[in-house]
Structure 1
Amino acid sequence: MTQPSTPIGCVRPRKFLSFPSLAKTPLMLLHKITLTDFGAYQGEQFLNLKTRPGRPIILIGGLNGCGKTTLLDAIQLVLYGARARTSGRGNRSYENYLRESINRQADPKHAHIVLEFSTIVEGEERLYKVRRSWEVNGKTVREFLTVLINGELDLVISDNWADHIEDLLPLEAASLFFFDGEKIESLADPDRAAPVIESAVYALLGVNTVEQLRTDLLALQRRQKISEEDKQILKKIHDLEKQIEEARQVSADIKQKQAGLSEQILQAQDIFDKADESFASAGGSLYEQRAELEAEENQLREQLKNVSDSLASNTAAGPLPLLLLSEQITSVKQQVDKEHAAMQAAQVLDTLSQRDHQLLSSISNVIPADGLAAIERFLNEDRRERAVDAEIPRVLNFPSDALTQLASIKEVLQGEAARARELVAEAMRLRERLNLVERKLAGVPDKQTIAERIVARDNARDHVTLLVGALQRLDEERDTVLRRIDLLNADRERAYKGRAQKVAETEHAARIITYADRMRSTLEKFGEALLQRHISRLEVAVLDSFNRLMRKNGLVSDLRIDIEKFMITLVGPDDNELDPARLSAGERQLLAVSLLWGLARVAGNHLPSVIDTPLGRLDSRHREHLVQRYFPHASHQVLLLSTDEEIDEYLFSKLRPSIAHTYTLVHDDTTFTTTVEPGYWWTAGAPHVA
């Protein structure tokens, strides 16, 4: 056994290598994993992971807390050590994590994990047996790593395993093939999925190989014969690269903190939503509106009083009551009209009498007596007929100058009536609104009743605000670091250019620099084209995977990935963008699974998949689609870590034709230890689970 050459918790500096594209990654197959006193696993526990053609699935069942996630952590820990992204580590140091992962019953305090797997290297199969062990000695933890290849100990690879495993299975690749339900939940958010897509496209599909080649060309320029001035430039370049690496590490640390804070914000927001819902159900909304309701009540009462006063003083005390005498007023007007007409007829009769007298006097000497008598009789008859209209008795003797007022009284009363109706309608509207406000005020809870819910909601809101503020500060801090990285990169680029000019003292060096610059420019264009090609393939693969898993055919007609921000845009059947918020929680989970599946398909799908608690918040139909359409085809080897409620008896029957082995993790609640038993809950020979 060999000891690691670096202290516990430190990451050995890696060679400056690019992640290989999975399209060229050899086929990897897990054979066996053995855990000895690791976590809840007491003593030696092992699982045979070999698969058969057409049966790629290893189904491992266990109730919550039995050690499913621990098993996933063990695979990552044995391969990556301090760099492993285990779920149980948190913010602890690597040394403390190893110390606390030893089973509490173990004596001496020692644990180890052995993983056996095979892969094809240069056309030949290699069988690896990686054993990572550690022991507690007082306050220190000693870790050991040995690697056997085809049964023989390889000390060189054991000492340089961190670099070797990156060639076989890059850590970024493993994060997309070893995942749990929580990771699927996080990828269901398009904003949080963007960094995963970006890292996958660059690291898994070989895009960053192009960038590495460009960097290697710069290194080629730097290796030319150097002068004393060149040495100073190289020292500056070295210092800049060191600062860039340190700034990148700071950025990565901040990004990890951002991810943790984002999870805390989601949890805190959920708590606030529940507190707000409790506050609302207790009449909180009415309580908050109490002051407004009371002010509105006072205003309505004042308005109602003003309307009532207007009805009493301006209407009832005016001419409006005369409407009660409408018939009498009409009779009076008719009588006045008759008397006025009689008076006018009398005046006309008097005038005619004078005219007739003058007329007869004027013609008495010219017209014979019998003709004059006939005219006189005619005139007398005419006056008698006109005298009929003048004989109406004058009872009222209504003055002539008041006739206009009498004629307009009807219009005045109609106007007053219309005004009165408006005031009555306004009073009724105000009364109805006042009744509504009074009912709301009656439903307002008192402060003592709702005080606790107010405090709970305010505390929850303050907590969310505090976390959001902390996240914003981290965003600003990371933006500052990223700007510093950009400035350092620009300084390094200028330094490279400055040195390139110095190196061009010889024809050979100048030719190298020229060709290197041309090649770097060509590689830059090639990298852009390669990125576009991979994005296009990934869009097709993710959309096809999503449509395979969905039960709603035609929900999404297209899927696009932004080549700059790596954000996913969904397009509905109407060719309009589909807001991911319109998808159900289960549909968003299927979208996350489709993203992982699509990445694996585009990358070549040459790595085993380890999936912990995969069915989460999915409904029965979505679960059945995953079981029938995804798990058997996710990879050539699929380790499923499931509870009895996720892969139940019905889904097990659907999955059974694709299963190579089944195991159940049995937990002893008295000793808090877990053992591995063959079989699943509903298979013959499986252990009984209460």
Structure 2
Amino acid sequence: MLIKELHLENIGSYKDQNLFDLSHQSSQKNVTLIGGENGAGKTTFLNSIKLGLFGCYSYGYKTENDEYYRRVYSYLNAQARKQEQSSFSITIVFSETENYITHTYKFKRSWKVKGQAIKEYFEIMKDGRILNEAETDIQRSRLRELFPPKLFDLCLFDGEEISRIIIENKLASYLRELSTVVFNLDLFNSLEGDLLSYLKQEMDEKQLSALEQEIFSLQNEKKEKTLYIIKIKEQINKSLLRIEELQETYTSIKKDFETHGGLVKEERDKLNEQMRAIEAVRKQNSEKIREFIQTLLPLYLNKDLLVAAKQQIEEEESLTLYKQLEQKLTVERLTEVLKNLSNSLIKEHSATDLQELLLNMLKPNQSDVTYIHRVSPSQRAEVEMVVNALEKETSEKYIDLIDQNKEMLVESQSLRQRMNINDSANEFIEMLNRMEQIKAEIFTLEKAIEESKSELEDKEKELLSLSQLIEAKQKVEEQGNKKRNSFTIAQNLMKLSTEFQKLQHQKKLQQVQIEATQMLNKLMRKHQYIPVIRINPETFEVTLYDQDREIISKETLSAGEKQILLLSLIWAMFKCSGRRVPFIFDTLLGRLDKTHKRNVLVDFIPSCGEQVLILSTNSEVDEDHYKLLKNHVSHRYLLEFNTEKRKTEISHQYFKFEGEEQMR
């Protein structure tokens, strides 16, 4: 379906008659650009298309009820409502190809207002012929089947909605819904729903046997378990993605924390341990210094005197021994000794010489030694011990210890200052608290994932057992009832529907992967950064791979890159579906950087299909962006709200810079 014209009569801020020509002039000029500041009427423009096509179905109602009319009443132009003769209408002209023939349809939905009462009128014209009531009902139902309101919503690329899908990690569920609608598989869901309703009715009317009722109940239980398992898997994937986000946030905060001097608990404990080690060494050094000062320092200061005293004591000891031997070793005694030792003739002077030799060996070194100390052996030993201890000590050793303590004191003070700054800074405290919160949340999520996986395993076992039980009972039922009754037919249809949907998803998603990958690499600034995209046909989880076939976490992508990824996937699904639908972009470029904006305008928009509607502010598609796009623009409109007249005025241009450019 391609929209050719939109007529608004007294709708929202569009007073009186307003016409938008949306037809495309050629395949190269497929863009209609609608500019306007916030509040100018862009949202009303979009809502009018949906309301004009689907009426009460656009709000989710199956019939025109009081709530629907209340919403429509508030949607009509307030000034025109005060005038009883005013007309209110939305007219949409569009083309649709049926059996290789293109037809032009004109949907006109109008309202009459009298006081608070409102009545709706609906008319369809096909190729210039007004359809009768029956034909109108058929065509209206056909439109909802071929182009349901949900599909219209999926054709609307709302930048804020896309951002929400990305932020809330709803990509898988969004792709599941998109795939089902775009590939017409929702018709099979409707079929299964109708079959289940039929079987339930049959069971309520007791038209089914006890075995058939049991199978039907088991199948309902199986469906509920299957949906519950899908829900558990989605929750696990959502939790895993959340953990990735939290870990990245934690790493980022920790990096900032460390960069600005903040200390995490582990590092703080490490610094505390370093400070304790430093203080222990300083204490040991201080004790050594204190012991030296209290014991040896006075003696060390008189070391030379002690050495001299030790030498004097030794001399005195030698002198004492000398005098003792001198008294004992008389010439007479030595002569007697020599006679006993040898029978040879002993000269008279031999004993005298021997005495002199022996005494000289013991004689003090100093000839003028006199007694000063006269110490006992134990006192002499104490003096020797002190002197030996002093000879091992040096002043440099304790000076080094004092210098070392000074250096370590400075280091300890620096560590203490870092900790004090860290503990006193509010932003650091907030960072610490945030990191603790993140760790706690990760722990909670990991615990929840473990519990969910355990529950998932149990539920999958239950589902397998239930499936086997249903299969066994179906075989019994088939054997007991050879003819193909309505129950058996409905069962087989549901089986066939389920298998068909599964095969279609697998087949279509393979094509989508290829197309989405090609478009993504056109649009991304990082060329061939993601050469492979895979979509799980059961869970619809998207997995990205790099050139080495390593998985790329989607959380590493920027907000703009995630938006580009989603756009590529949506575009690929529509392309693979072969549907002729208009693509509508509302505030699409808000989160994209300059390069990505350019790529979207140059490579993406022209490839979207036969019709593209872009609603934008002048800050989103500015003068430079407009120059990139204008060769593809067939129609331009500027919406400006006139505060005096309280209505939206339409001009055929796109903001003032275009007029200024033409003047130059």
Deviations 1:95-122 (A, max 9, x none): 3321111112213365211000011112
Contact 1:609–1:637 at 8 Å: present in 2 too?
A: yes
Of residues 601, 623, 632 in structure 2, which corresponds to 1:649? 623
Q: Does 1:29 align with 2:7?
A: no
Match of residue 338 from structure 2: 363
Structure 2 equivalent of residue 380 of structure 1: 356
CA contact (8 A) 2:516 2:572 kept: yes
SS across alignment from 2:620: coil
SS across alignment from 1:635: coil
1:333-412 equivalences under 5 Å are 333-346=306-319, 349=322, 353=326, 354=328, 357=331, 358-364=333-339, 371-374=347-350, 376-384=352-360, 386-389=362-365, 391=367, 392-393=369-370, 395-397=372-374, 399-403=379-383, 405-407=385-387, 409-410=389-390
Deviation at 1:217, TM superposition (A): 7.4
**What are the residue-to-residue correspondences of 1:29-428 with 2, within 5 Å?**
29-53=2-26, 54-84=28-58, 93-106=67-80, 107-108=83-84, 110-154=87-131, 155-159=133-137, 163-189=141-167, 191-208=169-186, 229-230=206-207, 319-320=292-293, 325=298, 327-346=300-319, 349=322, 353=326, 354=328, 357=331, 358-364=333-339, 371-374=347-350, 376-384=352-360, 386-389=362-365, 391=367, 392-393=369-370, 395-397=372-374, 399-403=379-383, 405-407=385-387, 409-410=389-390, 428=410
Q: Distance in 1 between matches of 2:99 and 2:662?
A: 47
Q: What SS does the corresponding residue of 2:169 show, helix, strand or coil?
A: helix
- The question of whether the paired residues in 2 share the 8 Å contact of 1:42 and 1:103 is answered with yes
- Post-superposition shift, 1:170? 2.4
Matches within 5 A, 1:239-638: 319-320=292-293, 325=298, 327-346=300-319, 349=322, 353=326, 354=328, 357=331, 358-364=333-339, 371-374=347-350, 376-384=352-360, 386-389=362-365, 391=367, 392-393=369-370, 395-397=372-374, 399-403=379-383, 405-407=385-387, 409-410=389-390, 428=410, 431-432=413-414, 507-509=482-484, 521=495, 524-573=498-547, 575-638=549-612
| CA positional deviation for 1:333 | 3.8
Q: Deviations over 1:333-365 (max 9, x none)?
A: 422432343245346545765468544322248
SS in 1 for 2:533: strand
Aligned residues of 2:211 and 2:473 also touching (Cα < 8 A): no
What is the RMSD of the two structures over their aligned residues, measured on CA atoms?
A: 5.4
User: CA separation of 1:185/1:308 partners in 2, compared to 1, >3 Å: closer, same or farther?
Assistant: closer
Q: Which amino acid aligns with 2:116?
A: K
Question: TM-score scaled to structure 1, two decimals?
Answer: 0.68
Quick one: which amino acid aligns to residue 69 of structure 1? T
Indicate if the aligned counterparts of 1:127 and 1:150 stay in contact, CA closer than 8 A: yes
| SS at 2:39 equivalent | coil
Preserved CA contact (<8 Å) 2:313 2:373: no
Contact 1:677 1:687 in 2 (8 A): no
Matching residue's letter, 2:181 = A
Q: Structure 1 308/200 Cα, relative in aligned 2: closer, same or farther at 3 Å?
A: closer
* Shift, 1:75, TM fit: 1.0
What does the per-residue CA deviation read over 1:506-545, in whole Å, with 9 as the maximum and x for residues that have no partner? 64336x8667756755654444333223233222222222
Contact 2:315 2:365 in 1 (8 A): yes
Shift of 1:129: 0.7
> Structure 1 unaligned runs (5+)?
1-27, 87-91, 252-261, 263-272, 446-452, 466-471
Seen in structure 2, the aligned counterparts of structure 1 residues 356 and 160 have a Cα distance that, compared at 3 Å, is farther
Residue matched to 1:17: none
1:468 match = none
Matched letter for residue 386 of structure 2: L
Structure 2: distance between partners of 1:500 and 1:157: 46
Q: CA deviation at 1:383?
A: 2.6
SS at match of 1:606: coil
Change in Cα spacing, 1:637 to 1:141, as seen in structure 2 (3 Å) is same
**CA deviation after TM superposition for structure 1 residue 556, in Å:** 2.3
Tell me, which stretches of 5 or more residues in structure 2 are unaligned? 61-65, 229-237, 239-248, 442-447
Whether the aligned pair in 2 keeps the contact of 1:556 and 1:570 (CA below 8 Å) is yes
What TM-score, normalized by structure 2, do the two folds share? 0.71
Contact kept, 8 Å, 2:59 with 2:68, in 1: the verdict is no
Q: 1:223 to 1:587 in 2, by over 3 A?
A: closer
Structure 2 counterpart of 1:171, which letter? P
Post-superposition Cα deviations, 1:307-340, rounded to whole Å, max 9, x if no partner, equal 999999x788755156654653421442243234
Q: Comparing 147-156 with 202-211, which one deviates more in the overlay?
A: 202-211
Aligned counterpart in structure 2 of residue 664 of structure 1, from 628, 631, 638 = 638
For residue 246 of structure 2, what is the aligned residue in structure 1? none
The CA deviation string for residues 274-304 of structure 1, in whole angstroms up to 9 with x for no partner, is: xxx9xx9xxxx99xx9xx9xxx9xxx9xx99
**Partner Cα separation in structure 1 for residue 423 and residue 19 of structure 2:** 68
Please tell me whether the aligned partners of residues 192 and 497 of structure 2 are also in contact (alpha carbons under 8 angstroms).
yes
CA distance in 1, matches of 2:91, 2:526: 44
Deviation at 1:597, TM superposition (A): 1.5
Q: For residues 606-633 of structure 1, give each alpha carbon's deviation from its aligned partner in whole angstroms, at most 9, with x where no partner exists.
A: 2111111221122222111111001111
Residue pair 2:8, 2:91 contacting (<8 A) in 1 also: yes
Give 1:172 deviation, angstroms.
2.7
Contact 2:175 2:540 in 1 (8 A): yes
Between 1:347-356 and 1:334-343, the stretch displaced more is 347-356
Contact kept in structure 2, 1:147 and 1:158, CA below 8 Å: yes
The alignment partner of 1:661 has SS state of strand
Describe the superposition over 1:51-104 as per-residue Cα deviations: whole angstroms up to 9, x where unpaired: 122211111222222111211111111122233269xxxxx9433321111112
In structure 1, distance between residues paired with 2:192 and 2:76: 45
Greater CA drift, 525-534 or 424-433: 424-433
Q: Answer yes or no: is the 8 Å Cα contact 1:57–1:639 preserved in 2.
A: yes
Is the partner of 2:484 in helix, strand or coil?
helix
Count of residue pairs brought into register by the alignment = 577
Counterparts of 1:152 and 1:165 in 2: how far apart (Å)?
17
Q: 1:317 to 1:628 in 2, by over 3 A?
A: closer
Change (3 A) 1:678 1:428: closer
SS in 2 for 1:98: helix
> CA 1:508/1:665 → structure 2, altered by over 3 Å: closer, same or farther?
same
Q: Shift of the alpha carbon at 1:375?
A: 5.7
Aligned partners of 1:645, 1:661: CA distance in 2, in Å? 20
- Cα contact 2:211–2:477 (8 A) shared by 1: no
CA separation of 1:341 and 1:653: change in aligned 2, threshold 3 A: same
Q: CA deviation at 1:640?
A: 1.2
- Shift of the 442–42 alpha-carbon distance from structure 1 to 2, 3 Å rule, reads same
Q: In the alignment, what sits opposite 1:21?
A: none
Tell me the SS of whatever aligns to 2:644.
coil
Q: Would the alpha carbon gap of residues 573 and 608 (structure 1) be closer, same or farther in structure 2, given more than 3 Å must change?
A: same
Q: Write the distance in 2 (CA, Å) between the matches of 1:110 and 1:534.
A: 46
Query: What secondary structure sits across from 1:376 in the alignment?
Result: helix
3-state secondary structure, aligned to 2:585: strand
CA contact (8 A) 1:580 1:588 kept: yes
Which segment is superposed worse, 618-627 or 550-559? 550-559
Distance 1:416 1:685 in 2: 89
Which letter maps to 1:580?
Answer: K
**After the TM superposition, which of the residue ranges 327-336 and 550-559 deviates more from structure 2?**
327-336
Q: Is the 8 A contact 1:315 1:420 kept in 2?
A: no
Give the letter aligned to residue 337 of structure 2.
S
Percent sequence identity over matched residues? 20
Distance 1:352 1:187, change over 3 A: same
Q: Hey, what's the Cα distance between the residues in 2 that align with 1:213 and 1:30?
A: 30
CA distance in 2, matches of 1:222, 1:384: 136
**Counterparts in 2 of 1:307 and 1:563: CA distance versus 1, 3 Å:** same
- Offset at residue 179 of structure 1 (A): 2.6
Classify the secondary structure of the residue corresponding to 1:134.
strand
- Between the aligned partners of 1:134 and 1:648, the Cα distance in structure 2 is 38
